[in-house]
Structure 1
Amino acid sequence: MDLFGHSANSAGQRHRLDDHLRGTERRARRYGSRFAAAEVAGYLGRVHDVGKGTCAWQDGLLRAEATGSRVGIPHKHAGTLLAHRAGLGRLAGVVFGHHGGLVSRACLREELRAAQSEHAASVQEAIDRVAAVVPEILDGPGLPGWVHGAYAQDDLVLDVLVRMVFSAVVDADRLDTAEHLNGLPRPDHPVAASDLAERFEAARQELLAARPPSPVDADRDYVYAQALAAAQGPQGFYRLPAPTGSGKTIAAGAFGLHHARRHGLARVIVAVPFMTVTEQNAGVYRGLLETGGGAPMVLEHHSGVDFDAPGAPGGRWARLAAENWDAPFVVTTTVRLFEALFDRRPEAMRRLHRLAGSVIVLDEVQSLPDAMLVPILSMLRTLTEFFGVTVLLSSATQPAFFDLAPLKEVAARDVIAEPKPLYERLARVSYTWWSDPAPTVEELARTVAQRPSVLTVCNTTAQAQRIHELVAAHRPQDRGPVLHLSTRMVARHRKDTIEEVIELNRTQSEVAVISTQLVEAGVDLDFPEVYRAYATAEAMQQAAGRCNRSGRLERGRVVIFHLAAPDGTGASGGGEFVYGAALGATRLFFGPGRARPDDPEVLHAYYTERFKQTNVEGRDTAALIQQARREGDFPRVAELFEMIPETTVPVVYVPERYDHDRERIADILHRLRNGAASAHLLRDLRPYMATLPRGYATGKAAGLMVPVVGDLYEWIGDYDEHRGIEIADTKEYVF
């Protein structure tokens, strides 16, 4: 009797079970070979659907094919038991979780018990029937030899191995199934990152020839040359410490591609903390790698990408490649990268095997959250030591990660061997400290209003809104516009405003911009003067990176201010509410009579002290994550790991300037409220999402935030055409 794994496709052909098992095995074996686990991954692909061999499941498939319903009969126990009998231990959970996600060891033990008791008859029936056509299911390979030694050193290695093999099997299963359903093969991308270095070099030369010269070009060339030289080194950890505006984006891409060529690596993955910077960097890399047409090379993957939108980069290819990062060059967010690494769900983890044998560039690495540093750095170390990964840490303010326990015994190579002279040459700004006496918010606004072209960066949205309001009131009519940027504006409004500011900068037109911290990491703005509320050292330096960025002035001017409290009790920039204990460490090293925020030696001392004050190595949540990883409790890890604490919720609003979209957005909200599938609809809403503190829904904004679905709300209150959502009775710390 023929056994089938999937119902008939559009050509009327059913998917033979033996073909599916062997097809999945072939792909999983190929993916597993990247991390010396080809036999294990192939075997688990071979047995993952053995449970479909029972008469009951086969009959259920025929019913489902006739009625359009689901089969509804569990089929995971047989393959799980075979993997267990083969001595694969926790890796048996790969089979059991290939649809619903990785489970805990306790759950896996219970399911194995059930496979040998109440499900024993159906499990044995499936094994016997499938073994008649695929006898190889009875021959398990055992654990890879390297795992025994690695596991003896560190049981976290097994955690990553399970994740990687799970990813390989899930991706292989999905691809083999899709090939049957679509009737078309879906081969892997034909180009590897190791093939792209020369293309990148040629495109960079064309870019430089077409661009007007800049006073910082010589230093950018120096950084680039150092990146190319470092790329010839062995795999492992690298640091790229270079000032803002020194060409780190292009230098990091060049390092990744030349390092890939040196070691035969398949892809470069660039992870950036903010979506605006992700979009910007992806555009840069596309311009360098997709010249002259041909197949797409750069996959941009984050929550703001609508792959189905007209003109979306990559089109259908990008939508499919995003499922499993099948591209030689991937630009994503750090949130998407690390939440996938610590997730348990198949669709989130499907792309992980693509990390093996790759270069991971972590841009603006100072933005990684202190609370999650221990598990993040531990994960990166395992990837570099056992899975053929090289990690490049890129930042103008390199954190002292290698003083922390996960990396304390790891040697990092510096792309710039002596960065201090580079920082001194590229010190394009002078710092002024405005704190004694501290200005009132009115005094600050009057001063900023008189400056021809100026950026003011605030610590809170309320502070930014109030200062914008005052600057707009005091700015002379013959000066340029007063613009605002914060997450209270919907995403499309923010993006359009950033593009307007960039164009005003390009034409050297006057403009005053009042913003929150969202402009600080990599957004390509260039002002002669920047005012920054006192904040952590890295935040102040990142703000300074928006000042005299092109080096056309002898010195730009950065003013760090504290604001006087309205009641005269003291001064603050509001940073305590944003940065917490990290601000205390900043005060020890940076300020009037102390170091500049761009001194790399003092920055190292600052990070060392900061990590002590914020108790990075003693945090309960991080310890619990590491414990759960050692114990194989995948659901617990996914529950505890959180890159961005969920203190805010998204709200949807269509400003008047986008009134042409109002009816369409209203229809989407209506459909979501009536139970429509949400994934693609939420993607359509993202351009019109802003964020508000979670507690506002039951507090000061009660009645103005109307629930839609889950944590999503519709905003029905005021929306200022410049500042976005405004709540009149806000009591946020604004001075």
Structure 2
Amino acid sequence: MAEEPWAHSKNSSGTRHGLEAHLRGTAELARGFASAFGAGELAGYLGLIHDVGKGACAWQDGLRRAESQGGRVVDAGGRSIDHKAAGMWVALRKGGIGSFALAVLGHHGGIPARHALRDVLASAEGAAAAQVQEAVQRVAELVPEILHDRRATVPDWGRSADDPHAAEMLLRMAFSALVDADFLDTERHFAETTRPSVPSLASLAQTYEAERAAYLGGVASPINALRTEIYEQAVSAAAEPPGIFPFPAPTGSGKTITSGGFSVHHATRHGLRRMIVAVPYLSITEQNARVYRRLFGEANVVEHHSGVDLDDLEPELRWQRLATENWDAPVVVTTTVQLFESLFSNKPSAMRKLHRLAGAVIVLDEVQSLPDPLLLPILSALRHLTEHFGTSVVLSSATQPAFFSLEIFKGLKPRPILAEPKPYFEKLRRVRFEWREPAPTLEQMAQEAAMQQQSLTIVNTTKDAASFHEHLEAVAAEGVPVLHLSTRMAAGHRRETLDQIRQLLKEGAPVAVVSTQLVEAGVDLDFPVVLRAFAAAEALIQAAGRCNRNGHLDCGRVIVFDPADGSRTGAQRVYGAALDVTRAHFGPGRGDLDDPEALNAYYAQRYQIKGIERTGRGVEVQQHRADFDFPEVARLFRLIDEQSVPVLVRYGDDVEREQLRVLLTQPGGADPWVFRKLQPYLATLPRQLAVKAVRQGFARCLLGDLYEWDGDYHCQRGIEFADPRGEDFVL
């Protein structure tokens, strides 16, 4: 084979992508990405060696066949040709970088467990030795530095056996830099363009302040004065060195705008590159993104939701989709699920954006929503990001969890945004809590809700929401809108319903609403009366945040009830031991839900009873992280136990939805914009329920993790499908 080896087939100009050019181009990009956390040379080396195996004659012949005949790179017999073992062999035998060779081995299919190195090395020095050595020799003639010893490129803290979790996180981040660089360099070849540079977060400080002033409109009020006071404290706190910043502030104090102000000023002081905002629910993601687009500028905000899992599709259909979302923007608004399941994934499509967390401000909005079983790995990762990757983390919530009481944060100095938050909770107290005892039925509470001019009822499961909505419709006065919110509704349907609710509230018109918990965290609704099915303390407080939110009343009413015919098992599955601890701390004659000190005591006891640092799924995840078992970590780390799947429903613009559905299934795959345009037509179902619906003929699998719904879609409640076992689901 006399000609120079190449990495990719011809682009539209008829130009092939030379292997040396691809290796050096990938190395340059990876080096730049990882320089943010002191591992530029390590990531650059991974870029140089990741495709060494493509230098083998067999692989070059296979690529030539694929170019002329179409399809994947295979040998004459149609078998796949490995190109990763050679780079891994170089990393181990020449570079000496040990487990970091996993990045090369997993840069297409995903990072395997550490024991895979042993198995692949045995093959590379056994049956595949001739092909591996041929590839190494040919590439070394073009890129001789692949054979240099690179042990010094691994930071000391990343090779220390004293903290294997830090080393594991470094491997994740280096892998992210590698796969993002690989995809971008490949994209650059085929698209024949270079993506434009994006502004830094720090460069937007003046824009933010000017737009904030215009957004607030200069309206003077006692609440706005308190919000301004809190904002000014946050801007002062931005001068503190990077670290973890608790931000406990009551509902209605302007946490969204204040978090943005802290982030942009913190970035200006310390050279941080972007703000990544993670919120628990899609509805809040959309809401926050609208606010930040106004304040930072439309072009500077990326909104990224949890989407369809396409990793299992054929490789030839994958690369263009994997090259779409790498969080290369000054402001990223995403979901908590997307952030943390990406952080603990082992798949390139999820992990390619992780290096953007380095040198960033991560704002965890409504941080109380993080699930107890996975707090240990989450807090461990946040600690390492702040200690080794130049990241700052804002823990924002009206119900601030007692994270610093846990061993995982021992010795870590919090940097509070508000020095004395308790007075603000007292000044911004807007509701009184009422407790309905003994346990009423859902129908009785629906009758009470219907007696109010405007009411919001929040229940724990989709089943209870549907049942309560039916009761409400039966007893509501004629002409009163009775509305419903849950993820059984398409995203566009939920958005329109929320807009309708806001308009009715603004007009002072009668309205009765029932919802699952998706309205609790940060959704900008303001009812005079809120009814909340009994739940954990933080959920009760978050529900209260939808009552008298803007302080127009002397005092709003929050009615807490424990429905006798409600889904006890559903609530128990969601909140677990937190329900019993809530009963012990709060209620008639017990603690005040608006007292931060009482809430802190509640959290401390809850964590102790649950033993989250001693047992459970989080401990298992940490054990597998220490063993570098990436697939097992990804399997165990699921923020939502009821693994939900998106479902395309018959809602909204029938013509556009059908056009998008057709585009999804055409040969060659769909462009990324198709998936973004699908969002308004997607509802959500638990995976097991979607599978049952397929078996019973109510749904079908459309593509990857995406289903299409053929059953009933209620004009108010969305997907209606009874689980034959009577199980109930949240949200």
Q: TM-score scaled to structure 2, two decimals?
A: 0.90
Aligned counterpart in structure 2 of residue 99 of structure 1, from 90, 93, 108: 108
- Aligned counterpart, 2:240: 233
- Aligned counterpart, 2:257: 250
Q: Deviations over 1:26-46 (max 9, x none)?
A: 111111211111111111111
| 1:597 is aligned to 2:593 | yes
- The separation in 2 between residues aligned to 1:122 and 1:624, in whole angstroms, is 39
Letter of the 1:162 counterpart: L
Alignment of 1:248-327 (within 5 A): 248-290=255-297, 296-303=299-306, 322-327=324-329
- The separation in 2 between residues aligned to 1:46 and 1:652, in whole angstroms, is 42
Q: Deviations over 1:38-63 (max 9, x none)?
A: 11111111122222222232233322
Aligned counterpart in structure 2 of residue 418 of structure 1, from 417, 420, 427: 420
Q: Which segment drifts farther, 331-340 or 612-621?
A: 612-621
Q: Which segment drifts farther, 483-492 or 273-282?
A: 483-492
| 1:454 is aligned to 2:448 | no
- Aligned counterpart, 1:137: 146
- Aligned counterpart, 2:639: 643
- The separation in 2 between residues aligned to 1:133 and 1:463, in whole angstroms, is 66
| 1:217 is aligned to 2:224 | yes
Q: Which segment drifts farther, 503-512 or 158-167?
A: 503-512
Q: Which segment drifts farther, 660-669 or 395-404?
A: 660-669
- Aligned counterpart, 1:313: none
Q: Which segment drifts farther, 33-42 or 644-653?
A: 644-653
- The separation in 1 between residues aligned to 2:187 and 2:669, in whole angstroms, is 24
- The separation in 2 between residues aligned to 1:183 and 1:653, in whole angstroms, is 38
Letter of the 1:441 counterpart: L
CA shift in 2, pair 1:548/1:648, >3 Å: same
| 1:611 is aligned to 2:604 | no
Matched-pair contact (CA < 8 Å) for 2:273–2:360 = yes
Letter of the 2:596 counterpart: P
| 1:203 is aligned to 2:211 | yes
- Aligned counterpart, 1:584: 580
- Aligned counterpart, 2:557: 557
Matched-pair contact (CA < 8 Å) for 1:582–1:613 = no
- Aligned counterpart, 2:333: 331
- The separation in 2 between residues aligned to 1:337 and 1:511, in whole angstroms, is 36
Matched-pair contact (CA < 8 Å) for 1:271–1:334 = yes
Tell me by how many angstroms 1:244 deviates: 1.0
Q: Percent identity?
A: 53
- Aligned counterpart, 1:315: none
Alignment of 1:138-177 (within 5 A): 138-144=147-153, 146-148=155-157, 151-177=160-186
- Aligned counterpart, 2:316: none
**Unmatched runs of 5 consecutive residues or more in structure 2:** 75-80, 310-319
Tell me by how many angstroms 1:121 deviates: 1.8
- Aligned counterpart, 1:528: 528
- The separation in 1 between residues aligned to 2:415 and 2:17, in whole angstroms, is 51
CA shift in 2, pair 1:171/1:559, >3 Å: same
Letter of the 1:94 counterpart: A
Tell me by how many angstroms 1:624 deviates: 2.0
Matched-pair contact (CA < 8 Å) for 1:299–1:321 = no
- The separation in 2 between residues aligned to 1:94 and 1:370, in whole angstroms, is 30
- The separation in 2 between residues aligned to 1:544 and 1:720, in whole angstroms, is 29
Q: Deviations over 1:470-509 (max 9, x none)?
A: 222222236x312111233333222211111112222232
Q: CA RMSD in A?
A: 3.0
Letter of the 1:631 counterpart: D
Matched-pair contact (CA < 8 Å) for 2:373–2:616 = no
Matched-pair contact (CA < 8 Å) for 1:105–1:632 = yes
**Unmatched runs of 5 consecutive residues or more in structure 1:** 307-317
Q: Deviations over 1:421-459 (max 9, x none)?
A: 100000011111121x44343332222212111111112
- Aligned counterpart, 2:715: 721
Letter of the 2:352 counterpart: R
- Aligned counterpart, 1:545: 545
Matched-pair contact (CA < 8 Å) for 1:215–1:552 = no
CA shift in 2, pair 1:374/1:79, >3 Å: same
Matched-pair contact (CA < 8 Å) for 2:176–2:354 = yes
Matched-pair contact (CA < 8 Å) for 1:561–1:573 = no
- The separation in 2 between residues aligned to 1:459 and 1:591, in whole angstroms, is 19
- The separation in 2 between residues aligned to 1:277 and 1:621, in whole angstroms, is 27
Matched-pair contact (CA < 8 Å) for 1:5–1:20 = yes
Q: Deviations over 1:504-527 (max 9, x none)?
A: 222232211111211101111011
SS of the residue corresponding to residue 216 of structure 1 reads helix
| 1:376 is aligned to 2:378 | yes
- The separation in 2 between residues aligned to 1:27 and 1:676, in whole angstroms, is 27
Alignment of 1:24-103 (within 5 A): 24-72=26-74, 73-84=81-92, 85-103=94-112
CA shift in 2, pair 1:149/1:687, >3 Å: closer
- Aligned counterpart, 2:701: 708
- Aligned counterpart, 2:123: 114
Residues paired across the two proteins, number: 708
Matched-pair contact (CA < 8 Å) for 1:529–1:558 = yes
Q: Which segment drifts farther, 437-446 or 328-337?
A: 437-446
CA shift in 2, pair 1:287/1:319, >3 Å: farther
Letter of the 1:97 counterpart: G
- Aligned counterpart, 1:309: none
Letter of the 1:491 counterpart: A
CA shift in 2, pair 1:355/1:470, >3 Å: same
- The separation in 2 between residues aligned to 1:305 and 1:637, in whole angstroms, is 20
- The separation in 1 between residues aligned to 2:496 and 2:228, in whole angstroms, is 32
- Aligned counterpart, 1:508: 508
SS of the residue corresponding to residue 396 of structure 2 reads strand
- The separation in 1 between residues aligned to 2:645 and 2:188, in whole angstroms, is 39
Matched-pair contact (CA < 8 Å) for 2:442–2:563 = yes
Aligned counterpart in structure 2 of residue 185 of structure 1, from 186, 191, 194: 194
SS of the residue corresponding to residue 414 of structure 1 reads coil
Matched-pair contact (CA < 8 Å) for 1:651–1:705 = no
Tell me by how many angstroms 1:247 deviates: 0.3
Matched-pair contact (CA < 8 Å) for 1:273–1:335 = yes
- The separation in 1 between residues aligned to 2:417 and 2:681, in whole angstroms, is 41
| 1:653 is aligned to 2:649 | yes
Q: Which segment drifts farther, 617-626 or 517-526?
A: 617-626
Tell me by how many angstroms 1:541 deviates: 0.7
Tell me by how many angstroms 1:726 deviates: 4.0
Q: Deviations over 1:598-617 (max 9, x none)?
A: 21101111111112233322
SS of the residue corresponding to residue 257 of structure 1 reads helix
Q: Deviations over 1:215-268 (max 9, x none)?
A: 410111111111111110011111000011110001111111111111111111
Tell me by how many angstroms 1:664 deviates: 5.0
CA shift in 2, pair 1:21/1:150, >3 Å: closer
Matched-pair contact (CA < 8 Å) for 1:77–1:123 = yes
CA shift in 2, pair 1:12/1:701, >3 Å: closer
CA shift in 2, pair 1:258/1:703, >3 Å: same
